[in-house]
Amino acid sequence: MCCLFVLCLDGGLETSYFSNFEYHEKLILIVGNLSFVFYMLFTKTILNFKKWDPKWDKRVKYGLVVWMCLLGFVFANLDIVAVVLGSIGVLIGYTIVIVSSIKGIRAGAARAKYFLIGNLCYYIGVIVSILQINGVLNSTIFGLSSIETIEMTTMIQLALFSLTLGSTINYMRDKLDKKEIEQQKQKQEAQRKYAELIEQKNQELEYKVVERTQELRESALIIEQKNKDITNSITYARRIQRALLPAAELWKSALTNHFVFYKPKDIVSGDFYWLNQSAELSTLYFAVCDCTGHGVPGAMVSVVGINNLNRCINEFKLTKPSDILNRLNLLFEESFEMGSKDKGEINDGMDMALCALNYNPNHKQGGPKAKLQFSGANNPVWIIRKSTPGTQVRADLIIGSAMGYDLIALKPNKQPIGRFTARKPFSNQELDLYENDNLYLFTDGYADQFGGPEEKKFKQKQLKHLLLSIQEFGPEEQKQLLYDKFTEWRGAGEQIDDICVIGVKI
């Protein structure tokens, strides 16, 4: 635009593009005004008025709007007014430029220095040109006319403006670099703070973990001590329960050939075996019982069962197994309902097989050696006898045969000792026993054990076959074979219930 203004001054523009010189003066005013507007916008951007002098920034904006209105005077043929007002505006604008340039130099902006020098060169050129036109100075200085002086100083100004632009570009580049460096620093600082925060949180977590671990250790010690106390108590309860069971010496004196395979699931057992003799020593009573549950609850029920069985013999002088079970059932219900407000909630009981054995003092070879009386609450008694003439029993009592032996079952009443809705009196059964007959009393723990290749129950069918297959062995060998088979069948699995099996050889 400055170049365009210079062409207007020396008449080059009209000569090249306009043949009518009538608009020469107006064209100079129009191009001059526009040149000044763009010059001030350029100055405003380069010197960054908004940063160094916000008030002047707003004033320049409003001034440029007013300046553009001067064009109206040109088109209204009021050129003199436009020239006067334009001259005043130019002086004000140049003053603003010089003052802002000085402020920029003081602020350390190198581009403001180049900009100030360029403007001063131009201002000097304009003043010299005016002085030449008015005859104050020679019409030619260094061979330059007034117009050529303005052209020369304009070229110098533009050259210095180029330096200003270069400095501005360098400034912006440095600013961007500094901004990038600052952003990088901020990023690094944020990462550092984040790392410190993570480290702090980790330390807090570690402290909490240590604290919680210590609490858990203390809790574990407390639990371990409580478990130890409970285990010690249960272990002592086992000693009490074992003390209530018949002693081995009593079994040997009463029944020479026998075995007791007794394997509790826990420390104490809900299964128990019992032995008693009448005052005259003529009748031997023995039983295998399975109380509700196992472990401590079952063991507590077993204590009640042992005590009441002894009462039936010693206190009530009962002799028939069925009478003993009927009385035992009443005593059992009384024992558990005595302190209960809601009788319906008591469901504890036990299954059992009870035998009364009387040996025949006048036993003859080949004849019955003993008389067996039996009564059962859900549990039977099995007798295995060699299949020989003269010892046969009713066919309905034989539930299995193998290897020359018959398995005879005296079936129980289908009701437990304890609360039962359809209660009936227990029945009493009798059977002659012969020499070498084997009696077996047992709970359901052995047959209910899971194991084998398919993890199924052992079941009574296999138990029958097993007992029939070991008849050629003595009682102790039979006990070991039962134990070995159970261990093999269970494998690595858990024992699921208490086990009690008693074998008696006649």
pLDDT band at 106 (very low <50, low <70, confident <90, very high): confident
- Provide the pLDDT for residue 1: 46
- Provide the pLDDT for residue 138: 77
What do you get for the CA distance between the two ends of the chain, in Å?
Answer: 137
The residue assigned the tokens 């960054």 is 48
Tell if the pTM clears 0.85, that is, is over it. no
Q: What is the DSSP string of 64-89?
A: HHHHHHHHHHHHTT-HHHHHHHHHHH
pLDDT band at 505 (very low <50, low <70, confident <90, very high): very high
Position 15 pLDDT exceeds 60: no
Highest mean pLDDT among 34-48, 170-184, 191-205: 191-205
Pairing state of beta strands 381-386 and 405-410?
Answer: antiparallel
pLDDT band at 426 (very low <50, low <70, confident <90, very high): very high
- Provide the pLDDT for residue 363: 78
How far apart, in whole angstroms, are the C-alpha atoms of residue 350 and residue 328?
A: 11
pLDDT band at 427 (very low <50, low <70, confident <90, very high): very high
CA-CA distances (angstroms) from residue 73 to 23, 76, 127, 485?
15, 5, 26, 126
The mean per-residue pLDDT over the stretch 385-397 comes to 80
- Provide the pLDDT for residue 76: 63
The mean per-residue pLDDT over the stretch 171-199 comes to 87
How far apart, in whole angstroms, are the C-alpha atoms of residue 329 and residue 158?
A: 125
Residues 6+ positions from 290 with CB-CB distance below 8 Å = 270, 271, 350, 351, 352, 379, 443, 444, 445, 498, 500
For the domain made up of 245-505, give the CATH fold: Phosphatase 2c; domain 1 (3.60.40)
Q: How high does pLDDT run on average in the chain?
A: 82
The mean per-residue pLDDT over the stretch 271-295 comes to 86
Among 7-16, 107-116, 442-451, the range scoring the smallest mean pLDDT is 7-16
Exposure of 169 in the CB half-sphere (CA atoms within 13 A):
6
Pairing state of beta strands 271-277 and 258-263?
Answer: unpaired
How far apart, in whole angstroms, are the C-alpha atoms of residue 505 and residue 472?
A: 12
Q: What is the pLDDT of residues 227-247, one digit of tens each?
A: 888 888 888 888 888 888 988
Position 284 pLDDT exceeds 90: yes
The mean per-residue pLDDT over the stretch 54-75 comes to 69
How far apart, in whole angstroms, are the C-alpha atoms of residue 469 and residue 187?
A: 86
Question: Which residues lie across from 385 on neighbouring strands?
Answer: 406
CB neighbourhood size of 412 (10 A)? 23
Q: Which of these, 98, 153, 158, lies nearest to 128 by C-alpha position?
A: 153
- Provide the pLDDT for residue 239: 86
pLDDT band at 481 (very low <50, low <70, confident <90, very high): very high
More confident site: 161 or 83? 161
H or E segment to which residue 457 belongs: strand 456-457
More confident site: 103 or 1? 103
Position 356 pLDDT exceeds 50: yes
Among 16-30, 116-130, 246-260, 261-275, the range scoring the smallest mean pLDDT is 16-30
More confident site: 50 or 24? 50
CB contact burial 449-462 (16+ within 10 A = b; e otherwise): bbbeeeeebbebeb
Domain parsing of the chain, residue ranges: 2-185, 245-505
- Provide the pLDDT for residue 77: 65
- The share of the chain scoring above pLDDT 70, in percent, equals 82
Residues 6+ positions from 286 with CB-CB distance below 8 Å = 254, 255, 273, 274, 275, 276, 354, 355, 357, 441, 502, 504
Q: Which of these, 345, 271, 347, 268, lies nearest to 305 by C-alpha position?
A: 271
How far apart, in whole angstroms, are the C-alpha atoms of residue 423 and residue 427?
A: 12
The residue assigned the tokens 């003052």 is 99
Position 74 pLDDT exceeds 50: yes
